[in-house]
Chains A and B, each alone.
Chain A
């Protein structure tokens, strides 16, 4: 059935499917169009996460809380690690709240594409939605743990200082770091399943190079800027400063952290874009 010449419709948008090679701009506009999908993915993760568990949503608190108890016993009591004049439990918990958010985001988001293989292979939607939604779903857990943190502060008689107005900034920094790392890891995980096995090791190692159990003031000054290369160091120190008024004012170290976090985020988005066209074929 040979058609006579067909006209190109003027009122409809054209989408071109063509080979995409090399580096290209991340599909941000498309992600924006599908923002409701990001919301639904996050909502699904939250709804499903604690179904059929006995403790339910308490798990969001148990994990950082017991880590804090263990840290307080071994690092605070036995090793007598300094905590910048703040009771050790408050000191470590204020760091564990953003850290737990980051570590969980990392673990879950890096598997988000692999876990949803069937969907990726059978339906088209912006792939960015999966790791991003998984990270965002962790915000609820973070909020719950944060309430507990406020409770512990109250118990030890700490009122937040005016520095607290900066807290949203550090939350944002934690979010940017988490998404950045997740974009890298989730895209790599599609191609190289080695990633799955390195995650537990990675988070454990990262925990110790982040000043959670100890203050970054243990390091002499010139090294603290280098420390900022770990963006979670900036987040954790920022949290303590904003909530507890410890001395690490947002200086050069945090500036370095911000730069690194955004570099991770942007490079992650580009790397993801480069890999995403092969997801359906490789998975």
Chain B
């Protein structure tokens, strides 16, 4: 028998979309609606709609009928595609927004890390921000004082402690913000995709810290797109799809189910997909991967050229296309950023709203890979689609050397051996 830490029952959450509800409501709008609503209702009644229910607002269920329990000390990963309701679930658990139906019981103090650095003030110094941010996250002043040295040491900013954080590099800023949050000591920790911060060394340190938290027997609920990370940290996984629990089991089961549905999504027409993130002024409408040779065959081979084409539906200032290749188990392999330029890049105004990325030599080992695409522009994330395409890499050669699929690695490099014998 163990203690329960989180008990979620029949939890549901709706959002109003459509018309004007998306943004805010003006007082005049409400006045107009108040006057118009009875007439609309009457009209609906005459048309025979049940109860004359008002159709002024269109509601969508971001979460629907979610039930699960988390036992104390368990580390749970929440996975799902964009818009599946992961962040909404964390927001409800942390108390930021209310559910529309059902309830969630939480036993013990909750700390949530939904975004690193929220509440930091650029004009305040590092030290001042530690106090402020600590208080926002629910720490007592005495507790912050006790941990100050630890927080500063972890963030590696000791020299700049009394400098306003607006002068910090983005790396320092993020390190300090994470460090404050990482020193929270609640019984239950809710974490949303915040580990993807800072440089690799710091990321590793954060992972270590998270591992410690889990080892100390605290309950942790993680949301992440990084399957490798989740499999490393969590024992249990809950896979949400369109607001409902699709799979609740071991993390491996959940990740497998997730990857399978991603596969299915790939066959869908991109422009019709709704599992996307971003402001959407410019959206990805088409993605294609070919071997670039005549005939545009989609059969890729290790060591052969590859050609990626991405089309967007609109132009925004500073538009750029980034894409990320993941292996079959969801681990990131490599990334491409159109904003990061080299002398070999060129422009083609006759191409329409199209980004083309060509590789002379695909240095991926044979296997199956998926591509996530992000469109950025106007200093915002415009669109992000997971599994916008898939790469099926067949056996090939690099420098005349056969490339083999070994089940673990993904990348091959050109190389040369010097051997003791010729056998």
Measured CB to CB, the residues of A under 8 A from B are 1, 3-9, 12-20, 34, 36-37, 39-41, 43-44, 47-48, 51-52, 118-125, 190-195, 277-278, 280-283
Chain A hits for B71, CB < 8 A: 3, 6
Contact A123 B136 (CB under 8 A): yes
Q: What is the distance, in angstroms, from A51's C-beta to the closest C-beta of chain B?
A: 5
User: Could you tell me the distance between the alpha carbons of A192 and B23 in the complex, rounded to whole angstroms?
Assistant: 10
Contact B98 A20 (CB under 8 A): yes
Contact A118 B93 (CB under 8 A): no
Q: Mark B24-44, 1 if CB is under 8 A from A, else 0.
A: 111110100000000000000
Provide 28 A-B residue pairs closer than 8 Å at the C-beta atoms, listed in order of the A residue: A4-B1, A5-B1, A9-B3, A9-B5, A9-B72, A9-B108, A13-B107, A14-B107, A15-B95, A16-B106, A17-B93, A17-B105, A41-B132, A47-B128, A121-B96, A123-B114, A123-B118, A123-B119, A124-B94, A124-B110, A125-B136, A125-B138, A190-B24, A191-B24, A194-B28, A278-B98, A281-B97, A282-B25
**Most chain-B Cβ atoms within 10 A of its Cβ — which of A18, A121, A277, A282?**
A18
User: Could you tell me the distance between the alpha carbons of A20 and B100 in the complex, rounded to whole angstroms?
Assistant: 8
Say yes or no: A17-B30 contact (C-beta < 8 A), given A125-B136, A277-B98, A280-B97: no
Q: What is the distance, in angstroms, from A128's C-beta to the closest C-beta of chain B?
A: 14
Q: Mark B101-139, 1 if CB is under 8 A from A, else 0.
A: 111111111101011001101011000100110011110
Per DSSP, chain B at the interface is mixed
User: Could you tell me the distance between the alpha carbons of A115 and B26 in the complex, rounded to whole angstroms?
Assistant: 18
Contact A122 B118 (CB under 8 A): yes
Say yes or no: A124-B95 contact (C-beta < 8 A), given A7-B4, A44-B121: yes
Q: Is B141 an interface residue (CB 8 A)?
A: yes
Chain B hits for A17, CB < 8 A: 92-93, 95, 98-99, 103-106
A to B contact number (C-beta, < 8 Å): 147
Say yes or no: A6-B3 contact (C-beta < 8 A), given A19-B100, A40-B132, A40-B135: yes
Q: Is B236 an interface residue (CB 8 A)?
A: yes
Chain A hits for B386, CB < 8 A: none
Q: What is the distance, in angstroms, from A119's C-beta to the closest C-beta of chain B?
A: 5
Contact B107 A1 (CB under 8 A): no
Top 8 nearest A-B pairs by Cβ distance?
Answer: A6-B4, A18-B103, A124-B95, A9-B3, A40-B135, A12-B108, A277-B98, A280-B97
Chain A hits for B91, CB < 8 A: 280
Contact A9 B107 (CB under 8 A): yes
Contact B132 A19 (CB under 8 A): no
- Residues of B221-269 at the interface with A, using a CB-CB cut-off of 8 Å, are 236, 248-250
Q: Is B140 an interface residue (CB 8 A)?
A: yes
Closest-by-CB residue of B relative to A48 is: B123
Closest-by-CB residue of B relative to A33 is: B138
Contact A19 B99 (CB under 8 A): yes
Contact A192 B121 (CB under 8 A): no
Contact size class for B?
35 or more
Contact B123 A47 (CB under 8 A): yes
**Most chain-A Cβ atoms within 10 A of its Cβ — which of B1, B97, B101?**
B97
Contact B123 A282 (CB under 8 A): no
User: Could you tell me the distance between the alpha carbons of A47 and B248 in the complex, rounded to whole angstroms?
Assistant: 48
Chain A hits for B30, CB < 8 A: 192
User: Could you tell me the distance between the alpha carbons of A48 and B119 in the complex, rounded to whole angstroms?
Assistant: 13
**Most chain-A Cβ atoms within 10 A of its Cβ — which of B98, B102, B123, B128?**
B98
User: Could you tell me the distance between the alpha carbons of A194 and B29 in the complex, rounded to whole angstroms?
Assistant: 11
Closest-by-CB residue of A relative to B101 is: A19
Q: Mark B43-73, 1 if CB is under 8 A from A, else 0.
A: 0000000000000000000000000010110
Q: Is B187 an interface residue (CB 8 A)?
A: yes
Contact A192 B97 (CB under 8 A): no
Chain A hits for B379, CB < 8 A: none
User: Could you tell me the distance between the alpha carbons of A43 and B141 in the complex, rounded to whole angstroms?
Assistant: 13
Q: Is B2 an interface residue (CB 8 A)?
A: yes
User: Could you tell me the distance between the alpha carbons of A52 and B164 in the complex, rounded to whole angstroms?
Assistant: 12
Say yes or no: A7-B136 contact (C-beta < 8 A), given A16-B105, A17-B99: no
Contact B96 A280 (CB under 8 A): yes
Contact B107 A12 (CB under 8 A): yes
Q: Is B336 an interface residue (CB 8 A)?
A: no
Say yes or no: A6-B69 contact (C-beta < 8 A), given A18-B103, A37-B135, A48-B121: yes
Other 8 A-B pairs with CB < 8 A, given A194-B26, A194-B27, A278-B98: A7-B1, A9-B5, A14-B105, A18-B103, A36-B141, A44-B121, A124-B96, A191-B25
Contact A16 B104 (CB under 8 A): yes
Closest-by-CB residue of A relative to B98 is: A277
Q: Is B315 an interface residue (CB 8 A)?
A: no
Chain A hits for B236, CB < 8 A: 1
Contact A51 B123 (CB under 8 A): yes
User: Could you tell me the distance between the alpha carbons of A17 and B98 in the complex, rounded to whole angstroms?
Assistant: 7
Partner of B124, one of A15, A47, A122, A124: A47
Chain B hits for A1, CB < 8 A: 236, 248-250
Closest-by-CB residue of B relative to A51 is: B123
User: Could you tell me the distance between the alpha carbons of A282 and B131 in the complex, rounded to whole angstroms?
Assistant: 29
Q: Is B15 an interface residue (CB 8 A)?
A: yes
Contact B3 A122 (CB under 8 A): no
Contact A48 B124 (CB under 8 A): yes
Chain B hits for A120, CB < 8 A: 96
Q: What is the distance, in angstroms, from B341's C-beta to the closest C-beta of chain A?
A: 32
Closest-by-CB residue of A relative to B62 is: A281
Contact A18 B97 (CB under 8 A): no
Contact A193 B118 (CB under 8 A): no
Closest-by-CB residue of B relative to A120 is: B96
Closest-by-CB residue of A relative to B107 is: A12
Say yes or no: A192-B24 contact (C-beta < 8 A), given A1-B236, A7-B3: yes
